[in-house]
Every structure is written in structure tokens, then in C-alpha cells.
Amino acid sequence: MKITVVGTGYVGLVTGTCFAETGNEVTCVDIDVNKVAKLSSGQITIYEPGLEKLFERNLKEDRLHFTTSLEEGIKDAVVIFLALPTPPGADGAADLSFVLNVADQLGKLITDYKVIVDKSTVPVGTAAKVTAAIARNAKVPFDVVSNPEFLREGVAVDDFMKPDRVVIGTESERARKIMGELFAPFVRQGNPVLYMDENSAELTKYAANSFLATKISFMNEIAILCEKLGADVDMVRRGIGSDDRIGKRFLFPGIGYGGSCFPKDVQALVRSAEAVAYDFKILNAVMDVNEDQKLFLLPKIKAFFNGDLKGKHFALWGLAFKPNTDDIREAPALYMIEALLQEGATVTVFDPEAMNNVKNQLGDKISYADHQYTCLENADALLIATEWSVFRTPDFNKISAALKHKAIFDGRNLFEVSRMKELGYHYESVGRTPVLS
């Protein structure tokens, strides 16, 4: 099948590459001339484990193409996916201008029946708006389908190739048949394809991300309570996670969630609720908790240094909002860095993949190390903000030899408290008994 994907960000590039991997001919469209040139020459523009191999293979096999021309890109396509940004506007609601602008252009360009698919995360009612935008100029029949993505950065290729479920929002039998054929290779093991109306499909995406964000904020509040009551959040997490009604995932406390999805999707759902005069109390609390959690370690750090961080120098491991990605959007590490700088401290950072993105954003406000241990040189303490695997079993002798103070402030609970006590560290984490020096 011939497919067009408009937008080559995380969702667009993964979507286009994975569809090409199952034999489809895919053309990806983007207005960024430099990005299209890089992709066309075989240079992948995002870090996502497993994607580069598929990208190179399908480019070589001539199943994956890139262009800046929307007219060229949609020629002969049966399905057109819109994988465009929907950033929060000034009021927190999703900005649909990119999506609706392309929809308006499509109405002028399509010359035969097309299925236009909203792959972007969009609020309820977007399919109707896209339909109206296309219909203003279209002279041929078309259908607009909502097909939300459920990709996790770091495992996006696996999520696409072996989805837990595929949600397809359409009331058109013609579009349903085409979408079912397109996704058939990905659900051969029996995972469900869920057909529903467009509004329900759009809300499903927001509801899923908001529920997961709620679990994270709930556990972060439990972690705070654990510290106040003398309980251990790891024990509590295991105790409740063994209940299959709750599940083990998204129960790890830390310094808050970030990324391109949870923050904006929770906010957008709250704004959608406000638009129909509904006060979504739980999600407002989720956002408040997460905002506070980003700086959870700061009071602990200040207390260790008697309230004065001026002139102190910190090593920070981890910049990406989560491991196995270079995405720093809403990364808690960045909030911690800004807070430390405001306190008069200096910071050297290390991350396996996200360094260049942070350099582009922060420039020379901080220092950048080429290795996790050189990052520690002349530092008063080590802070951990992202749970990369390479940080889980470090050489503690190298750490203690490099630091001025044998102190670690761990925002991701990477190490066992008992182990840190044996090693003689001052060690503070989230929701567990501190080891005080």
C-alpha cells in the first residue's frame, strides 16, 4: 500500500519506517529542508533504539522516501497520516494550527479518494475540524480517521511492531477496511484492533496518558508520606504492585514525569474539560504534584550544605526525561539545573545521548563531560536525574575519590539504601530512609 506520513518527528519517523518495514511504500513529508536532506541521505535525525537499522534497510530497499512537497508526497497515496506537532498553546490547550493548516492544503490537492489519519495526539472534536478544513476545497470523497499512537520513547519500534492494541476511530466502512488491512501485519498474535467513533478514539489517547501520569504522581505523594512516617516506598510499591488490579508499572517514585506526551496531554485534557465547564480535580492535582516533584531533591541538597549553595559545584548524571532517548522536553533534570544555578551553584552534566540537545538549549550556562566519571571532577556532590542503565552499577570507589563530599542525591532510587550505608555515603533518595553522614 502507498502511504504518506506528514511530519518526521518521533511519531512520524517511527510510523513511516515501521510501515515501510512491512512492505508498504512510504513517503514522509516535512517542511524542514535540512531535515529532509539529512533523512534522504541516510542520516537519521532522532535517537530511538532499533530504529536506525530499519531506517537504513528501508531506505536502501527504496520503500522509504522523503520530500518537502506535500503535493508530491501524497501522489498515489491511499492513506495519509498526519503526525504533526500539537504543542500546548498559551492557555494549555492543544494547538491544532499545524494539523489544520495541512488539512486545508490537502483539500486543494487530493484528486481521488483518500483516508486522512490523525496520528497526532489531538483533543476530542479534531476529526470533525479536520474534515471541515479538507471539505472546504475538496472535490473528491475522503474519510478522516483518528488513530492515536501509544508509542513509548525508548521502545517505540517494539511498541509499533507489536502493539498492545490498535485504536481506530471511524464510522466509515470503507476507511475501516483499509485501516484494518494496513494494520493486519502488526496484530497477527491476536492483540486487538479496537474500532470506535472518532471522538472516543481521540479521548482514549488522552485518558491513557493522563491515567499513567496519575499513577506516577500518586506514588510520588506516597513517597513523601513514606519519608514522614518512616516507611519504605520500595516496600509499599512492591506490596501494591503485586495486586493485578493495580499492576507493577508506573509505580516508581522519582523527581517527576517529563517528555513530549504526559505534561502536554494532561494539561490539554484539563483544558478540554474546562471548555465544557467541568473541573477535572484529579488531573489538576496530578499537575501540581508533578510540578513540585521536579525540585524534590533541592531542600535535601540545601540542608546538607547548611542552606547555602553559592560557590558549590555539582555533578549531574542524566539529562533526558527518561532513559533510552535523547528527548529533553520537560525533563526534570533541566528544572534542577536552573534551580541550582539560581542558588549560585555550578553544574557539570553527563548523559549518554541528550548532551547535544541540552547544549543547544543551555549553551555555556553549564559544563559538559565526555564521561560519567570525568563529570565528577571537583564536584561537591553527585545528583542523579535519569535512570540510565549505565548508572546503575557504577564504580563507587571512583565516585568517592572524585567527589569533595561523599554525597549522592538520587532522584531515581537507583541504589540500595543498605549498600550505600555500608559504603559510607551520605545518600538521599525518594521515599526511603536517608543515609546521613
Catalytically annotated residues: 261
What's phi and psi for 348, nearest 5 deg?
-115, 135
DSSP bridge partners of 407: 426
| C-beta neighbour count of 388 within 10 angstroms | 23
Contact 125, 200 (CB under 8 A): no
Alpha-carbon span 425 to 396, nearest angstrom: 10
Alpha-carbon span 383 to 332, nearest angstrom: 12
For the record, the C-alpha cell of 392 comes out as 546503575
Cell 473541573 found at: 279
What's phi and psi for 117, nearest 5 deg?
-115, 120
DSSP bridge partners of 143: 115
Alpha-carbon span 143 to 300, nearest angstrom: 55
Q: How many CA atoms lie within 13 A of 282 on its CB side?
A: 11
Contact 305, 433 (CB under 8 A): no
Alpha-carbon span 64 to 77, nearest angstrom: 13
